[in-house]
Copies of this chain bind each other. A is one copy, B any other.
Amino acid sequence: MRILVVNVNTTRSMTEAIGARAREIASPGTTVVALTPAFGAESVEGNYESYLAAVAVMETVRAYAEPFDAVVQAGYGEHGREGLQELLDVPVVDITEAAASTAMFLGRSYSVVTTLDRTVPLIEDRLLVAGLHTRCASVRASGLGVLDLDRDPDAAVRAVVDEAERAVRDDRAEVIVLGCGGMSGLDAAVRARVDVPVVDGVTAAITVAEGLVRQGLRTSKVRTFAPPRSKSFVDWPPARRDGSGVRTTR
């Protein structure tokens, strides 16, 4: 099967890291295609950027020409998953939800450790809307920006471990979820230092997506995710500065 893994920001090194992590966990026979949105912000750390990412991810997937079996949206706490589910029949898995759902099989409560404090409310709201919030002990910020993770992974691990320990001790978390697509791959280092399970959203989402495809399950089309109605659009999708339409970059 072929799974598209779509980064939410335009930083290609991050797309590559996410793709590499996805390929490590994917089953034999699964092809992972990692995509970078054709437009948007270099990192997503707030609602403005997140709404833009939602649209960019949708257009990026729509512009992808080959067939595929599932899509993973690899941004933690971002908007947009519902739109992809309208546009597609194949399963759409958001790493926010895949990680939360996975954590709930491992302990009675989980905490998310994310980047900046300003992204905490986005994550909380996305978990609320997904109905996965009741066993969430806390969402904690490490204080690192998304791009800091790339620049100094050791510092990132230390900051994440510090918050993870506080979550276990003060919030009674029993599982830690890495709350940023850019943290994908840090899980081994974090696990080595905390004594609770650590969930990586990207690997969680790949196994969930594979499981759905193997079971022949697709998105329900009866109501919320029915295909968009046929209608006119003004000036959309956007022309690129070079005059062509949206193109994705892997």
Residues of chain A having any CB pair with chain B under 8 Å: 10, 25, 27, 37-43, 45-52, 54-55, 58, 79-80, 82-83, 85-87, 91-93, 97-98, 101-102, 104-108, 117-118, 120-121, 125, 128-135, 145, 168, 172, 174-175, 195-197, 199-200, 203-204, 207-208, 210-212, 214-215, 217-226, 228-229, 231-236, 238-241
Q: B residues within 8 A CB of A199?
A: 215, 217
Q: How far is the CB of A63 from chain B (nearest CB, A)?
A: 13
Task: State A113–B101 Cα separation when bound (angstroms).
Answer: 22
Residue of B nearest to A172 (CB): B223
A215, B220: Cβ atoms closer than 8 Å? no
Interface pair A42/B83, CB less than 8 Å apart: no
A223–B135 contact, CB under 8 A? Answer: no
A190 to chain B, nearest CB (A): 13
**Are the C-beta atoms of A107 and B212 separated by less than 8 Å?**
no
Asked if residues A107 and B48 are in contact (CB atoms below 8 Å), the reply is: no
A117 to B104, CA, bound (A): 20
User: Are B131 and A238 in contact, CB atoms less than 8 angstroms apart?
Assistant: no
Contacts of A232 in B (CB 8 A): 10, 41-42
**Residues on B with beta carbons closer than 8 Å to the beta carbon of A212:** 102, 105-106, 207
Name A87's contact: one of B48, B218, B231 (CB within 8 Å): B48
Q: What are the nearest 9 A-B pairs in CB distance? A: A207-B211, A238-B238, A107-B220, A39-B235, A131-B134, A131-B135, A47-B82, A174-B220, A10-B234
Interchain CA distance A91-B27 in the complex, whole Å: 19
- Bound Cα distance from A232 to B104, whole angstroms: 32
CA distance A216 to B175 in the complex (A): 14
Task: Given A39-B238, A102-B212, A239-B239, verify A48-B228 contact (CB < 8 Å).
Answer: yes
